[in-house]
Structure formats: C-alpha cells, structure tokens
Amino acid sequence: MRQIVLDTETTGIDPNAGHRIIEIGCVEMIERKLTGRHYHVYINPEREVDAEAISVHGITNEFLADKPKFAEVADEFFEFIKGAELVIHNAAFDIGFMDAEFARLKPVRKTADHCGVLDTLAVAREKHPGQKNNLDALCKRYGVDNSNRELHGALLDAEILADVFLLLTGGQTALVLDDEEEGGGEAGGIRRLSASRPQLAVPRASDEELEAHDELLEVIAKAAGETLWSKLSH
C-alpha cells in the first residue's frame, strides 16, 4: 500500500471565500514504512494572506511573492499523490482546498476520484472519545517529539503526523532495518539504530547459581509436585 501523509497551509479557513493554498507538504510511506520521498512546495496564492493565518504559520505575503502559482505545480503535485491513500488530519479541510484549486484548472480533477482518503482526526476521535485530538495533543499522548513546531508548517506537520499515524493505528512499524537502508540515519523523526553500535552484554548464570536454582526446584517439587520449569528443561 502506498500512502501519502499530507498537510497544507492556506491564506485563510474557507476556500469558498476565495482563500488559497500557500504550502503543500507530503511524505511517502509504502507498506507503513517511510521511504524518504517527499513533496514540498510554497505557492503564490495570487491574493493576500489573512493576518490571523500568518500568526499560525508565519508565511508572509512578501515571502510568497516570487513563488510559483498553483497552476504551475498542479501536474507535478497530482502525479505525486495519484493512486495513493492520503493520510490527513482533519481531511475535509485540506481536501476542500485541493479540490477548489484543481477546479480552477483544466482538466478539472476531484481528489477523491484519484486517491483514497484516511482522516486521522476521525480515527483519533473514535479511539480517544471525549479527549483533545489535535496534532499537538496526539504528539503528547504518543510521545512524538514536536519540539521544533513553534509555528505550523506543512512539511514538518506531515512528518510529525506520519509518526503519530503509525502509533495511532497499530504501533511504530516504520523502522527500516540496517540491511534495508544503508547507513541507518533518521527519517520522519524515527531514530534508527546503527549497526556499528556496541552489542549488549548477555549475562550468564554461574555454576554456583545454576546449582542453587536446581536445589530450589527440588524443594518446590517435594512440596508441590514437579515444576513446569523442570519439564521445560528436560
């Protein structure tokens, strides 16, 4: 299964009021393993960014002035997500903006016609009813480090959501073994262990300890019958 963990930042909260996407961040997973492939772009929205939105993500009109328009990146973005299941927190928000952007172009594309969609907010609400289930709350609940997240950013949030998603839906299964990824390293916030790390010492019982253990088993056997340990050791 190919999944794309996706997040966007926008000029405001309502695409029906003409608000636009200004940043897209995606990370790719195949069979619940982070591949290291990602897609990230800033976009000139051809309109002003609301002050309230800037206070959330810190992306200013001046910064976006020389960035490409959505029409210039639409095909590349579509090819990256096409055929995948999109993993999004509060998916209706991002999909609404994506569909509004695609609707301005020819041919018109509707995201759900080309991608599956999994809403991690809905999954979290079902698993943790009555609790806070925003991304920050889930990071705290599952021990995911989001200390670099002073402001929202699409790629950073997608990387954090990938870690949260794996834990939310069955544990951390995205670790890549050393023979699968040369050199180890880090991806998606998950720490890989180096193959050259010192081996853990394995303590062994001494002859005296083994003898004392056997004597204790004999005492137990006389009092309560043969022990399970004795049966296994035979």
Residue positions annotated with a catalytic role = 152
What lies within 8 Å, CB to CB, of 113 at 6+ separation is none
Buried b / exposed e over 69-107, threshold 16 CB at 10 Å, is: ebeebbeebbebbeebbbbbbebebbbbbbbbbbeeeee
Cα–Cα distance for residue pair 36/166, rounded to 1 Å: 15
Tokens of 160: 């954090």
How far is it, in rounded angstroms, from Cα 74 to Cα 34?
24
Please tell me whether the peptide bond between 203 and the residue prior to it is cis, using omega within 30 degrees of 0: no
Can you tell me whether residue 196 is helix, strand or coil? coil
